[in-house]
Each structure stands twice: as structure tokens, then as C-alpha cells.
């Protein structure tokens, strides 16, 4: 069964410190992987997708097919990075509007 | 554009009742997906509709149904409400480029349903 696992419910880091959010998935195939973010009192929004291989707001994520992981990283956390982060996948045979989300990781960046 | 809109914002229902939730996608978006988010969990996919047809269904009982209208707005209906249906219900819309869908989903603010 396909599954997205985010092992950390809460991640507390100091401003300027590196931050890494873990995401592991189980899927027999080649899914698309995404990171969505929800800032306080805002809507859930796309942060980045693995196919783009781009850096958004200083965040990058590398898809490791061998380890079936898609960890999100930022070298220097900022206070505005405090938010809820969700890892999500879409299977190649899934409808394009179907995402499977992990339980989320709450990131708190303290000054 | 106000983005994806959902109504109502909150509602309280009694076990066994029926509820209808509404969603208006971003102008020009023809695809609407529904998700249920229980407290402490990530969103769980319920349905996707595109061009008024169901294109995907999650693992939810038949008490859950949805439809899409010619203006691409959508309704989610839940019959015979159970306490476990209490959740935030999210709607998301996505654009299409010709016949090819675009990957990004734009989420609404959600409808908070409480079943007592």
C-alpha cells in the first residue's frame, strides 16, 4: 500500500540553524513527490515538487529512490519558515487531482 | 481573484443528519478535488471531479458523494453523519492546459464540520 511517513510531528530550531524535514514513502512505482506548506492562518500551498529540482524560499528537496525518501532541507532557517509542512505523493496511475499526504511536521523557528 | 472559496466556514450537525459543502474553484480551473483532514493528520483524498465527471475516488464509504456543476463549482454531500466525520473539509482546484492537467493544486480555506 502506498504510504507517506513524516516521522517528526514537531521540529524546533533556532534562527540561522539548518533544518531538515524527513519524508519517507512506500510506493511500488515512480510517484511524483511534493512538499506543501501551511503558514499560520493561511491556506495550504505548494512549496516545491521533485521534478522541478528548484529551490523555493531557500528550501530544496532531493528524491532518493533507493531510500524512498524526499527530505526537505534549508541551510539557514528563518522565523518566517515557521509553519506546518506536508509531504505528498501522486502515483503515476492516479488521477492528477489525487494527492496522498503525510501527517505533517510543525516547524517552529525561534530567534 | 479570491482564490478557491468554500462555504460554509463552520457548521455543526447532529449524528445521522445530512450535510452539503460547497466549493468554487479559481476562475478558469475545471478540476476540483475534495479532501478530509482530521485533527492531527494530513488531508485525505475523497474525490476529484473534472468536466463534471468523477475522475478519482478515495477510500470513503458511499455516504460520501459529490458532483460538479457546469460552472465547475462543486458540492460534497455526506449522509448519515457519524461522529468520526468531524473534520476540516478542503477543496482544491487545478488548472488544465489544453487536455493536459497542471500539477499544482490550489486549496481553499476549508469547512470545519463538527458532528455531535
Chain B closest-CA separation from residue A15 CA (Å): 26
**Using CA atoms, how far apart are residues B81 and B68, in angstroms rounded to an integer?**
22
Contacts of A55 (CB under 8 A, 6+ apart): A48
Q: Structural domain boundaries of chain B?
A: 5-96
Measured CA to CA, the distance from residue B53 to residue B60 in angstroms comes to 18
Q: Would the CB atoms of A99 and B31 count as touching at under 8 Å?
A: no
Specify the CATH number for the domain of residue A41.
2.60.40.10
Do residue A97 and residue B56 have CB atoms under 8 angstroms apart? Answer: yes
Determine how many CB atoms are found less than 10 A away from the CB of residue B70.
7
pLDDT for position A2? 83
Please, are residues B88 and B41 in contact by the beta-carbon 8 Å criterion? no
In Å, how far are B45, B84, B105 from A96, measured between CA atoms? 12, 27, 9
pLDDT at A27: 87
Sign of the alpha-carbon dihedral angle for A48, A107, A103, B112:
negative
Q: State the pLDDT at residue B101.
A: 65
Q: What is the pLDDT along chain A (111 residues), one digit of tens a residue?
A: 789 999 999 999 999 999 999 999 998 788 899 999 999 999 999 999 887 778 889 999 988 888 899 999 999 999 999 999 999 999 888 888 899 999 999 999 999
Chain B residue numbers touching A88 (CB-CB < 8 A): 42
Q: Is B112 helix (H, G, I), strand (E, B) or coil?
A: strand
Domains: count for chain A: 1
Q: Do A45 and B107 touch (CB under 8 A)?
A: yes
What 3-state DSSP class applies to A81? helix
Q: How far is CA A64 from CA A36, A61, A71, A94, in A?
A: 18, 9, 9, 21
**Cβ neighbour number for residue B7 with a 10 Å cutoff:** 13
* Third-level CATH fold of B5-96: Immunoglobulin-like (2.60.40)
pLDDT at residue A29 in the model: 81
Q: Which of B26, B93, B95, B105 to mutate to test the interface with A (most CBs of A within 10 A)?
A: B105
Phi then psi for A6, rounded to 5 degrees? -115, 105
Which residue segment(s) compose the domain that A52 sits in?
Answer: 3-110
pLDDT of residue A53: 77
| Cα separation, B57 vs B59, whole angstroms | 7
116 residues of chain B, pLDDT tens digit each: 679 999 999 999 999 999 999 999 999 899 999 999 999 999 999 999 998 999 999 999 999 999 999 999 999 999 999 999 999 999 999 987 766 667 789 999 999 999 99
Cβ–Cβ below 8 Å for A98 and B56: yes
Amino acid at each position: 500500500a502506498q504510504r507517506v511517513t513524516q516521522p517528526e510531528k514537531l521540529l524546533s530550531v533556532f534562527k540561522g540553524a539548518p533544518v531538515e524535514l524527513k519524508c519517507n514513502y512506500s510506493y511500488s512505482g515512480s510517484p511524483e513527490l511534493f512538499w506543501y506548506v501551511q503558514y499560520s492562518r493561511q491556506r495550504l500551498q505548494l512549496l516545491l515538487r521533485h521534478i522541478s529540482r528548484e529551490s523555493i524560499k531557500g528550501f530544496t528537496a532531493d528524491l532518493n529512490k533507493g531510500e524512498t525518501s524526499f527530505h526537505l532541507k534549508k541551510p539557514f532557517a528563518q522565523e518566517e519558515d515557521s509553519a506546518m509542512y506536508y509531504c505528498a505523493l501522486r502515483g503515476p496511475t492516479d488521477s492528477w487531482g489525487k494527492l496522498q499526504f503525510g501527517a505533517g511536521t510543525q516547524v517552529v523557528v525561534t530567534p | 481573484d479570491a482564490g478557491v472559496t468554500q462555504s460554509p466556514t463552520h457548521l455543526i450537525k447532529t449524528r445521522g443528519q445530512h450535510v452539503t459543502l460547497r466549493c468554487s474553484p479559481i476562475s478558469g480551473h475545471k478540476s476540483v478535488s475534495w479532501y478530509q483532514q482530521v485533527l492531527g493528520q494530513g488531508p485525505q483524498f475523497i474525490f476529484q471531479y473534472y468536466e463534471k465527471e468523477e475522475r478519482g475516488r478515495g477510500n470513503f464509504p458511499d455516504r460520501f458523494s459529490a458532483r460538479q456543476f457546469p460552472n465547475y463549482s462543486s458540492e460534497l454531500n455526506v449522509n448519515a453523519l457519524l461522529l468520526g466525520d468531524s473534520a476540516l473539509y478542503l477543496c482544491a482546484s487545478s488548472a488544465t492546459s489544453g487536455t493536459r492537467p497542471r500539477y499544482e493544486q490550489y486549496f481553499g480555506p476549508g469547512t470545519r464540520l463538527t458532528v455531535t
